[in-house]
Chains A and B, each alone.
Chain A
Amino acid sequence: MTKTLRTREVLGVGESVGRPDATPKVKGEFAYSSDLWAPFMLWGATVRCPHPHARIRRIDVSTALALRGVHAVLTHEDVPGHKLFGLEVADQPVLAWDVVRFQGEAVAIVAADHPETARRAAGLVNVDYEALEPLTDPEVAISPDAPLLHPRGNVTRHVKIRRGDATASADVVVSGVYELGMQDQAPLGPESGLAVPAEDGGVDLYIATQWLHRDRDQIAMSLGLAPDKVRLTLAGVGGAFGAREDVSMQIHACLLALRTRRPVKIVYSREESFFGHVHRHPGRLTYEHGATRDGRLVYVRARILLDGGAYTSSSPAVAANAACFAVGPYRCPNASIDSIIAYTNNPPCGAMRGFGAVQTCFAYESQMDRLADVLGISPIELRLRNAMHGGDAVLPTGQRVRGPVPVAELLKRLQALPDPADQVTSPADLRALPGGVSNTTHGEGLRRGVGYAVGFKNVGFSEGFDDYSTARVRLELADGRPVVNVHTAAAEVGQGLVTVCAQVARTELGVEEVVVHPSDTSVGSAGSSSASRQTYCTGGAVQAACQAVRQEILRRAGSGDWEQASSELIALLAGEAVEATREFRHRPTQPLDPETGQGHAHVQHAFAAHRAVVDVDVELGMVRVVEIATVQDVGRAINPQAVEGQLEGGTAQGLGLALMEEVQVEGGVVRNPSFTDYLIPTILDMPPVRAEILELGDPEAPYGLKGAGEPPTISSTPAIVAAIRAATGRPLTRVPIRPQDIAQ
């Protein structure tokens, strides 16, 4: 035994370890799903319905099929297995027949030898539609006499929470109606992948997704194949944010590959992407808050109506989240919440970062500001008086929030951060003014405002879902040196999970060299890269598998002393590598009672708060966000630099919802499916982010960590809106805020 291993914590948990994929990404060498190529590859294209609601009378593919270079044109008749798919409920046609329920729904697919040929052939598929009246108002959709879009009715889910006294009255009452437009995740990488037919009659799919196994199961169902005949490998993912939790082109590419017996690649254009994935639910939230004269909440009554669009997607879980977090991180003895999601002929809505908690946070934080105003106390003081504390933190569902509940601490720390509000912007530099070099103001009509908000949400899947992740860890010698191989099916979507897995392995096994293998379905499911859960669940699985490897090393060493055993590691591994596969499950959760909404539905709760400082040109309604400060408890920062990236990037998406991002839908028709007209924040829109990260430690979670990805997107929106209200005195009950809402 001669070689000495390096100390355990090198590049381990808690360090800002650089991403292994950063170098190929900066060189342009990283292979995203749209970069794949195979010999004899064909290109797929999708025929989409231009109407939001229509009956299909006839589909004629003959002209398209006759085009030179076209190899296949498929319709619903060519789907050999289950003709419906869906994340929670299989209710969306793989290819529509009979009725089309939203604009852009897929009707036919084409494979050709050039992408332009495929697009032209798609245009030659002749579909005879009878346009039907679209049902686009969710309020109308759930009324008793509305025409049914689905056999079981137009209510996707109605979650009721009843806690305390439903008739409670209070000295001070404020009420409001709040609306949110439809936000798009807008990951920069378009939906894309490559399906390769296999000799065993199955198919291999290289795909950008958030959840390989759930995709696999849906694909296999529709192909009529056993799941082991459908093998998925994660290709490079250009962002996700919820947009890749549902299937988009996966089944289509596999159908075309199996039919043509050639590899088929599908890459959506940006316009098609807007029709090819679900969006964040727009909503209308009606709130009433009752409080004592000294500002203690007595009751909250809320009716949350969200538009789920044409198909179910993840709406049932979004409805539950909206209900459970509808009161905010505040103590309130009485609550009556109705959270309803409706089917309409609008684009389907589903997962996006923040998942139900974003919509309610905008409403309850707006209400808290309104209450503070009526009571004549500061918004921070009102929040501090009502903040949940560890010990007495109970959700309206009756669930006690375990672990640190730092609501008051977040607000106090936020307030203590240096305040740029006193620095007066110099009108000398246009670039620092609302409108920038558009030269819209030289300081005339300029008002500054400051706003605060705090929010929270669940980490991991809830309501009794069997939420687990699987990791296979192998410790072996390579060229005489110990190397850890980590294999999971978890989707690296940009968040940095690939780094986290390596850090965990280094910390647990004290071995510096770690290889994180490509994610695929040859290992057990890792669950979804969503709900801020992967560092918790897959990090936990890698930790558990490493600990099992460690036990085997100790057994071989015949010693209980890890220091001793690890100093002999090379000898202990000389005969045989050590491998272990482990599943990690967080604490089980329970369903919500269907009548009262009571139940321990969630495992972990993560909290964040934001302060926004804005300059507003009240004459033209232009806004410049001067600075955003945020404080968030991440339990333990496994990789501080990556955590900062989540806080900064998540805050930017919240800014987008506050100020510019909306999929504009009129009569079921999307008016702005492009980055020309759907605006996401640029580097000119995004101010510096002053972030303070707390590590308060959750004793029940691996390393004490809390999921960190979503909280930044929750409270950033209401903080910015509050700041604009402070600057303008306008009520501003709808996001995104438009210039005409300010300069009325």
Chain B
Amino acid sequence: MRLACRVNGHERQVDVLWEGESLLYVLRDRMGLLGSKNACEQGECGSCSVLLDGTLVCACLVLAMQVDGRDLVTIEGLAQHAALHPVQEAFVEAGAVQCGFCTPGLIMAAYDLLQTNPDPIEPEIREALAGNLCRCTGYTKILDAVRLAGARMGRP
């Protein structure tokens, strides 16, 4: 089967060999986009979060062929060349990254939140990130990072 979709602004075409392949598998093993992570592959941890036509989804729960003709943004699509996206920059500065396995998914979820709600209060941040597990940080510095990113993105 041939899958055609738009990934981070580029048209991509890949062959899907088995109809059961998930979007996560195809991103990682057929497109070489390894930033979306395989922590649970059960839709529980959010490590593989991507935007599908602007909606935050777990790539492990989407069949690859479902995205035919659709638009994807993955963690690889946030940074503009050498410049990190403000959410990425804030995660680095706030010390929100330890092992980093949850980081791409959390950044996608935070990016998605700040697109629609540039100045979230803490309970809103917590609700928005509740689908993303982190085992290292205890989330304190992740909250710091989202607040920092929100403040920077809100600036003209």
Contact = CB atoms under 8 A, between A and B. Distances in A.
B95 A676 contact: no
Contacts of A431: 123, 126-127
Contact of A18 (B47, B93, B100): B93
Interface string A134-148: 000000000000000
A188 B37 contact: yes
A428 B67 CA distance: 42
A391 B140 CA distance: 37
A534 interface: no
Interface residues of B, number: 60
A31 B34 contact: yes
A267 B141 CA distance: 29
A94 B101 CA distance: 28
B103 to A, nearest CB: 5
Contacts of A267: 38
Interface in A695-711: none
Interface in B73-112: 74-76, 78-79, 84, 88-89, 91-93, 95, 97-104, 107
A115 B18 CA distance: 11
A649 B123 contact: no
Contacts of A35: 28, 34
Interface stretch (A78-86, A322-330, A638-646): A638-646
Contacts of B20: 116
A651 B101 contact: no
A25 interface: yes
A648 interface: yes
B138 A686 contact: yes
Nearest to B95: A641
A688 interface: yes
Given A188-B133, A239-B99, A651 B92 contact: no
A188 B100 CA distance: 9
A23 B126 contact: no
Given A21-B100, A188-B101, A27 B76 contact: yes
A37 B34 CA distance: 11
Contact of A676 (B21, B25, B44, B75): B44
Contacts of B18: 114, 116
B137 A649 contact: yes
Interface residues of A, number: 64
Interface in A629-654: 641-642, 644-645, 648-653
Contact of A29 (B17, B35, B102, B143): B35
A562 interface: no
A683 B28 contact: no
Contacts of A276: none
A680 B98 contact: no
- Among A27, A114, A653, chain B packs the most CB atoms within 10 A around the CB of A27
Q: Which 7 A-B pairs have the closest CB atoms?
A: A28-B35, A494-B99, A25-B100, A238-B101, A648-B138, A652-B138, A675-B44
25 contacts: A16-B95, A18-B95, A21-B97, A23-B84, A26-B92, A27-B75, A27-B76, A27-B78, A27-B84, A28-B74, A188-B37, A189-B37, A189-B99, A238-B39, A270-B42, A431-B126, A494-B101, A641-B95, A645-B137, A650-B138, A675-B133, A680-B135, A683-B125, A683-B132, A683-B143
